Amino acid sequence: MIAIIDYKAGNVASVKNAFNRLGVECLITSDHETILSAQGVIFPGQGRAGTAMKELKRSGIDTAIKNITRPFLGICLGMQLLADFSQEDDTECLSIIKGKCQKLPSVLKTPHLGWNKVEFVGNSPLIEGIRANSPYFYFVHSYYFSPLNNDCLVGKTPYGFDFASMVQKDNFFATQFHPEKSGKIGETLLSNFCKLCGR
């Protein structure tokens, strides 16, 4: 079973729909034990960093996340919250991957919205079968994750400048784009994640 963390931030249903289309059992939950015993964990997210971190702390999910040893995938805001800090609402985040989140430069149309390329520069089991030809994924965001070290970088995206669109550290994977809304290519990435979870 894959656990989808519910922390009142965004469209968890669309992630569940994506797993249902793959025929993989999943559960929307905020229960610590369920999260820690799942074969894999999805950390989705839309909304503001400040509000999201407040809810994670209130519910104690912040601590639970740090104890996860199974494959974990943060999506969009779920990626940004893995950083040390976000400029959005001046928020202390989970400090799982070193770095900070900054607002996109104001010369660029914000939010960065639509299909953009991901150039894979690192290796990851999640990009098996899709790493060639810089595929397009669907993005919607106004802040971006800027990692301290480049060792965690899996993919980058050119939007006037290159930003980190996919990172990983140990069992923690994260994408700035929405694989659940990225057509067939997104389904492949999620399916690779399920395989990694033993599904």
Active site residues: 76, 178, 180
180 binds other proteins (CB under 8 A): yes
Q: What's the closest the beta carbon of residue 88 comes to other proteins, in angstroms? A: 12
Question: Of the two residues 63 and 142, which places its CB atom closer to other proteins in the complex?
Answer: 142
Contact 50, 43 (CB under 8 A): no
**Contact between 97 and other proteins per CB under 8 A:** no
**Do residues 189 and 23 lie in contact, with contact meaning Cβ atoms separated by under 8 Å?**
no
Cβ closest to other proteins, residue 103 vs residue 109: 109
**199, amino acid identity:** R
Taking a C-beta distance cutoff of 8 angstroms, is the pair 32, 60 a contact?
yes
Site for other proteins in 102-161 (CB under 8 A): 106, 109-117, 134, 136, 138, 140-142, 157-161
* E strand or H helix that includes residue 112: strand 112-117
Angle, helices 12-22 vs 183-196, to 10°: value is: 80
How far is CA 20 from each of CA 27, 190, 194, rounded to the nearest angstrom?
10, 11, 12
Give yes or no for residue 20 binding other proteins (CB under 8 A). Answer: yes
Positions in the binding site for other proteins (CB under 8 A)? 11, 13-14, 17-18, 20-21, 46-48, 106, 109-117, 134, 136, 138, 140-142, 157-162, 180-184, 186-187
